[in-house]
Amino acid sequence: MGDILATEADLLGMIKEYLNFEEFEETVQTFDKECKTKGKLVSKPRGSALRDSKTRVIQEDLLSSFDDGDHKVFFDLWAENIPSAVKDSDDEAQNLEFYLRIHFTVYPLRTHPSRQDRAEFEERIFLFKQYLETRGSALSQTTEFLPYYALPFVPNPTIHPSFKDLFQDSWMPQLKDKLEKFLSVTLKSSKIPRLLTLYVSFFSMQQLQLQLAESERRISSYVRKCNKVKADYHNLIGITAELVDSLEATVSGKMISPEYLQSVCVRLFSSQMRQSAVQSTDFTRPGTVRTTHNHSYFSHPRPKEVPMLPSLDYDKLKNDLVVGSDRLKCLLLQALRWRITRSLPGEQRDTVLQAYISNDLLQRYSTNKKAVLHLMKSANEVVRQYTARLINAFASLAEGRIYLSQIPILVKLLTETLRREEKDSMTRENVLVALQKLSLRRSQQTAMIEDDLIGWLVDELQDSDCLSDYTLEYSAALLMNLCLRTKGKRKCAENAKHVLKVLTDLLGHENHEIRPYVNGALYSILCIPSVRQEAKEMSVEEILRCYNREENPDLNRQIEFIIKQLNSGDEEGPESDDEEEEDDNDEDLMEIELDKEEILQPQQRELSGETLLTTEYLGIMTNMMKVKRKSTPLACPNIDEPLQRPVTPSSHRNAG
């Protein structure tokens, strides 16, 4: 009985410890009251007194080294006792560390203002400069800290007006007060309660048991395969011995009958191949195509089975994407994108995409302004960025582009975002790339041309030095795809001089990856007589011949085609809008840039990625596998001629 009571008291103690850890203050009071009423003992968690004592010592040592200006001791303790997740991700911790670095740097000037130990100060300035170039570089764009990046280059900071606050009597006590508050919260939160530790251990044990069961299943499978290999080996040795005997017999002049060779063949081939081997193999002739195919059956292993990702509850997902907090929305958008980008190409990725489409993840026909797609208009920049990233992931897959093209408002929504976002915004970059991939489809090209995207692109490309190589390449490729349409060519003809000036300037850009798209756009619009006339007045032919001297035979031949187009007759080229052309090159265009520069990082004990989806949003039979259309990539273009079919930079690079 005593053991049971002790165990119960220990368990109640762990519950109270966890409630205190999560700061359920009212619940703790009620819990204590009920335990007292029922006469239940609540033991103090074992080791808590020792932990509390150790925490106090660490906090006192940190504050003491702060007062003494001992930066070595302080930052050794800081590195050992402040969790990495807090140091590297928490804004408050990073800001505090910056000011602490300043404190220890100027400490010799504060404590000895008259004699100022220059050697000590120079050493600390050197360490501060190292910090600014490494961990501190992340804050270089923050206005609050920008003046302090000049500190290593100021001979005497004590008299410099930018740093006068550092030497006020109130500055050091205020910083110490911030440090004390930070330590009291952080060091306390680093004490993991035993109940949580037990739960994590139990969960880990379950995972290990599952892994063990899976390993045992695999071992059993491998043992069966090994036994089969051994049996095949013994069978093969027996057949080899018989064939050696037969070879010796033929040397002695004895004939080997086809029936005997057929019997050997039957023993060699598996039961699935036995009939075709007996009926189809001609042993009286040298090896035929049919026998070659039979042998190739054994030389290629069967494809390995790929596991499908768990089904999800899409109704709950779509609801939380609309009504959840901004952080939850971002985590869900990231996890859904990772399902596409991190799944294995082929059946696994196709199943993920088909589940999204069949459950209408983006709510394509919804007229509700709170639909998932309208997250592109969110006031939160990260929500907008992660929505754009997900749309870009959809646009990277042929079936995804078909789905997106069925959303009536999509192009309008994306072009509005394009015009609204800052030039260097990651949201804008993803929207631009998604539009470029969607421009493989004629219906989307039409919508973009009608929304005057050509004019916007030409204006952007005019200031090409302000664009990243990635953005520049996709902008040029998008412009070319739109210029391939008759409507696009006529749109360019409305401001031909401006368009021609921008395109000819781009021919001299240091990024040669854009050349094929610039050449393709020039060749397309020069089929319009008014554009040709404007080009002749601008001496475009002479400009082209300047670039024709460069050592690149392929581009030189393309320029010759453009010059030939420029000097053609006055008639307009053939209409292209009504031709029955392939609507999409049916290629998947997945790129590593889809997941680059993730600004969203999970906090401590926060679910993210696949763990978030399978823990909170597990569904039943929502994976609807659909047979993927057979890929029909377009024939490789003649590299001598300018591009005359819609492409994306990734597909063009692969084709090259």
222-231, 480-489, 591-600, 633-642, range with the lowest pLDDT: 633-642
Angstrom distance (rounded) from CA 542 to CA 559: 11
**Over residues 572-597, mean pLDDT:** 63
N-to-C CA span, the chain: 80
User: Does residue 95 share a domain with residue 56?
Assistant: yes
**Is the pLDDT assigned to residue 47 strictly greater than 70?**
no
Q: What's the pLDDT score for residue 3?
A: 59
User: Does residue 152 share a domain with residue 33?
Assistant: no
421 or 7, which is more confident: 421
Instruction: Check: CB of residue 611 under 8 Å from CB of residue 337.
Output: no
Token pair of 67, please?
């007062």
Angstrom distance (rounded) from CA 438 to CA 77: 54
pTM assigned to the model: 0.53
Angstrom distance (rounded) from CA 604 to CA 602: 7
Q: Give the residue from 432, 451, 470 where a domain finishes.
A: 451
Q: What's the pLDDT score for residue 629?
A: 52
Q: Give the residue from 451, 470, 489 where a domain finishes.
A: 451
**Over residues 470-489, mean pLDDT:** 91
Tell me whether residue 376 is in a domain: yes
User: Does residue 31 share a domain with residue 89?
Assistant: no
User: Does residue 78 share a domain with residue 12?
Assistant: no
Handedness of CA 407, 412, 415, 416 (dihedral sign): negative
Token pair of 66, please?
């702060």
Token pair of 618, please?
């597990």
User: Does residue 53 share a domain with residue 39?
Assistant: no
Q: What's the pLDDT score for residue 655?
A: 53
Q: CB 578: neighbour CB atoms within 10 A?
A: 7
Q: What's the pLDDT score for residue 297?
A: 33
User: Does residue 36 share a domain with residue 59?
Assistant: no
φ, ψ at 142 (rounded to 5°): -90, 125
Q: CB 133: neighbour CB atoms within 10 A?
A: 12
Token pair of 656, please?
């090259």
**Over residues 94-101, mean pLDDT:** 90
Q: What's the pLDDT score for residue 640?
A: 54
Tell me whether residue 396 is in a domain: yes
Say how many domains are in the chain: 4
Angstrom distance (rounded) from CA 320 to CA 381: 18
Question: Residues 6 or more apart from 273 whose CB is under 8 A from it?
Answer: 294, 297
Token pair of 319, please?
């609801």
Burial of 641 (0-12, 13-18, 19+ CB in 10 A): middle
* Helical H segments across 484-592, by residue range: 486-493, 496-506, 515-525, 529-537, 540-547, 553-566
Question: Residues 6 or more apart from 197 whose CB is under 8 A from it?
Answer: none
Tell me whether residue 181 is in a domain: yes
Confidence band of 632 (pLDDT split at 50, 70, 90): very low
Q: What's the pLDDT score for residue 282?
A: 40
Please work out, in degrees rounded to the nearest 5, the angle formed at the alpha carbon of residue 645 by the alpha carbons of 648 and 397. Answer: 40
Q: What's the pLDDT score for residue 499?
A: 92
Q: Which range scores top for mean pLDDT: 88-92, 245-249, 357-361?
A: 357-361
Q: Which range scores top for mean pLDDT: 363-372, 518-527, 566-575?
A: 518-527
Angstrom distance (rounded) from CA 252 to CA 522: 78
**Is the pLDDT assigned to residue 583 strictly greater than 60?**
no
**Among candidates 351, 469, 461, 354, which has minimal Cα distance to 400?**
354
**Over residues 549-574, mean pLDDT:** 75
247 or 570, which is more confident: 247
* Helical H segments across 269-409, by residue range: 271-280, 289-299, 314-323, 326-341, 347-358, 381-395, 398-405
Handedness of CA 27, 29, 35, 37 (dihedral sign): negative
User: Does residue 66 share a domain with residue 31?
Assistant: no
Token pair of 110, please?
């504060």
Tell me whether residue 461 is in a domain: no
Q: Which range scores top for mean pLDDT: 163-167, 305-309, 320-324?
A: 320-324
Collapsing DSSP to helix, strand or coil, 618 comes out as strand
**Over residues 202-229, mean pLDDT:** 80
Token pair of 374, please?
């309208």
> 326 to each of 200, 247, 320, 371, 386, how far by Cα in Å?
28, 78, 10, 15, 11
Confidence band of 56 (pLDDT split at 50, 70, 90): confident
Q: What's the pLDDT score for residue 88?
A: 82
User: Does residue 181 share a domain with residue 216?
Assistant: no
R_g of the chain computed on alpha carbons: 35
Q: Which range scores top for mean pLDDT: 100-114, 148-162, 301-315, 452-466?
A: 452-466
Angstrom distance (rounded) from CA 363 to CA 66: 56
User: Does residue 435 share a domain with residue 321?
Assistant: yes
User: Does residue 64 share a domain with residue 38?
Assistant: no
Collapsing DSSP to helix, strand or coil, 379 comes out as coil
**Among candidates 84, 102, 85, 88, which has minimal Cα distance to 179?**
102
Instruction: Check: CB of residue 337 under 8 Å from CB of residue 600.
Output: no
Tell me whether residue 153 is in a domain: yes
Tell me whether residue 512 is in a domain: no
**Is the pLDDT assigned to residue 130 strictly greater than 70?**
yes
8-17, 60-69, 103-112, 544-553, range with the lowest pLDDT: 544-553
Q: What's the pLDDT score for residue 453?
A: 92
User: Does residue 40 share a domain with residue 58?
Assistant: no
**Over residues 29-33, mean pLDDT:** 88
Token pair of 145, please?
């800290």
55-59, 340-344, 386-390, range with the lowest pLDDT: 55-59
CA atoms within 13 A on the CB side of 198: 8
Instruction: Check: CB of residue 269 under 8 Å from CB of residue 584.
Output: no
656 or 148, which is more confident: 148
Beta pairing partners, 312: 618
Please work out, in degrees rounded to the nearest 5, the angle formed at the alpha carbon of residue 372 by the alpha carbons of 371 and 378. Answer: 95
Q: What is the pLDDT of residues 158-207, one digit of tens each?
A: 888 888 888 888 889 999 998 988 888 887 655 677 777 777 777 778 77
68-77, 368-377, 456-465, 624-633, range with the lowest pLDDT: 624-633
Q: What's the pLDDT score for residue 1?
A: 46
Tell me whether residue 624 is in a domain: no
Token pair of 186, please?
């952080």
Instruction: Please give the share of the chain, as a percent, with pLDDT higher than 90.
Output: 23
**Among candidates 389, 369, 453, 634, which has minimal Cα distance to 444?**
453
> 603 to each of 139, 195, 331, 610, 611, how far by Cα in Å?
20, 20, 11, 15, 14
User: Does residue 61 share a domain with residue 165?
Assistant: yes
Beta pairing partners, 618: 312
Collapsing DSSP to helix, strand or coil, 312 comes out as strand
**Over residues 53-76, mean pLDDT:** 86
Confidence band of 290 (pLDDT split at 50, 70, 90): very low
Residues in the chain: 656
Mean pLDDT taken over the chain: 79
Instruction: Please give the share of the chain, as a percent, with pLDDT higher than 70.
Output: 80
Token pair of 628, please?
């993927």
**Is the pLDDT assigned to residue 89 strictly greater than 70?**
yes
Token pair of 333, please?
């958008």
* Domain carrying residue 373: 308-451
Confidence band of 292 (pLDDT split at 50, 70, 90): very low
Q: What is the pLDDT of residues 250-269, one digit of tens each?
A: 777 777 767 666 666 666 66
Residue 506: left if φ>0, alpha if ψ -120 to 50, beta else—which one? alpha
Q: What's the pLDDT score for residue 547?
A: 76
Tell me whether residue 442 is in a domain: yes
